């Protein structure tokens, strides 16, 4: 829990705000929900560890960190607006803490880019998306575990449908000129990510 607690305190300190009492436990509880196999506390912890190694790249580290905390805060395996609901939750919390409208708007955008339906253009958005996609460049054993975890979250989808949809998603990543937007993540994970994706396809 050390990385979680340290990241939590640093995020709010960087934002120069005080977090609501009980919110840390509420978010940890959300990531521990039983329907989560990949989008779990393990994923959040991995994201925060990647952020700690790359926070020097962030223009507004507090906003990136809090967006990471909330980016999968709502996760319904059958839902189609998880990012929207997660962003709304983050904005409600930040508004209650007297965060500026500019901060609310930026955090909302940071969370919404994790839909991965468009290439991010802002530096903090690029960093956050690279962190979220770092799993693609994980060691083969962790990548295989991740692949199985995603399948477990979609256990209700028939095998042939799942394989077709999953193949389409992974092929779209592989077709990009680069998987990562920042030099930091490209140097560390691009080659392994392409190897992992090619192997599973």
pLDDT digits (tens, 9 = 90+) for 2-47: 999 999 999 999 999 999 999 999 999 999 999 999 999 999 999 9
Evaluated on CA atoms 130, 88, 166, 119, the torsion sign reads negative
pLDDT tens sequence across 132-176? 999 999 999 999 999 999 999 999 999 999 999 999 999 999 999
What does the pLDDT look like over 72-105, one tens digit per residue? 999 999 989 999 999 999 999 999 999 999 999 9
Domain that holds residue 142: 2-200
The stretch 103-124 carries a mean pLDDT of: 94
What is the end-to-end Cα distance of the chain in Å, rounded? 35
pLDDT score at 96: 98
Does residue 56 have a pLDDT over 90? Answer: yes
Pairwise CA distance, residues 140 & 179, whole Å: 17
Question: Phi and psi (nearest 5°) for 139?
Answer: -55, 150
DSSP 61-84: HHHHHHHHHHTTSS--TT-S-HHH
CATH number, domain containing residue 103: 1.10.3210
Predicted pLDDT of residue 64: 98
pLDDT, position 170:
94
Distance from the Cα of residue 119 to its chain's centroid:
15
Please give the tally of structural domains in the chain.
1
pLDDT band at 1, cuts 50/70/90? confident
Structure tokens at 16: 């120069």
Q: Residue 148: CB partners within 8 Å, gap ≥ 6?
A: none
**Closest by Cα among 22, 3, 111, 17 to 62:** 17
**What was the pLDDT predicted at 118?**
82
pLDDT at position 110 is: 98
Q: How confident is the model at residue 119 (pLDDT cuts 50, 70, 90)?
A: confident
């Amino acid at each position: 829990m050390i990385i979680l607690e340290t990241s939590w305190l640093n995020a709010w300190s960087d934002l120069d705000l005080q977090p609501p009492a009980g919110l840390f436990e509420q978010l940890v509880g959300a990531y521990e929900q039983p329907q989560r196999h990949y989008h779990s506390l393990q994923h959040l912890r991995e994201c925060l560890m990647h952020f700690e190694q790359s926070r020097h790249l962030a223009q507004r580290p507090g906003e990136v960190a809090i967006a990471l905390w909330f980016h999968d805060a709502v996760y319904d395996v059958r839902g189609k607006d998880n990012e929207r609901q997660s962003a709304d939750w983050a904005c409600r919390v930040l508004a209650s803490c007297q965060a500026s409208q500019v901060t609310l708007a930026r955090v909302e955008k940071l969370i919404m880019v994790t839909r991965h339906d468009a290439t991010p253009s802002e530096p903090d958005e690029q960093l956050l998306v690279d962190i979220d996609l770092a799993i693609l460049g994980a060691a083969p054993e962790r990548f295989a575990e991740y692949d199985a975890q995603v399948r477990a979250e979609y256990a209700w989808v028939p095998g042939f449908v799942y394989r077709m949809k999953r193949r389409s998603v992974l092929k779209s990543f592989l077709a990009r000129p680069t998987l990562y937007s920042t030099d930091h993540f490209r140097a560390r994970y691009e080659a392994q990510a392409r190897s992992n994706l090619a192997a599973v396809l």
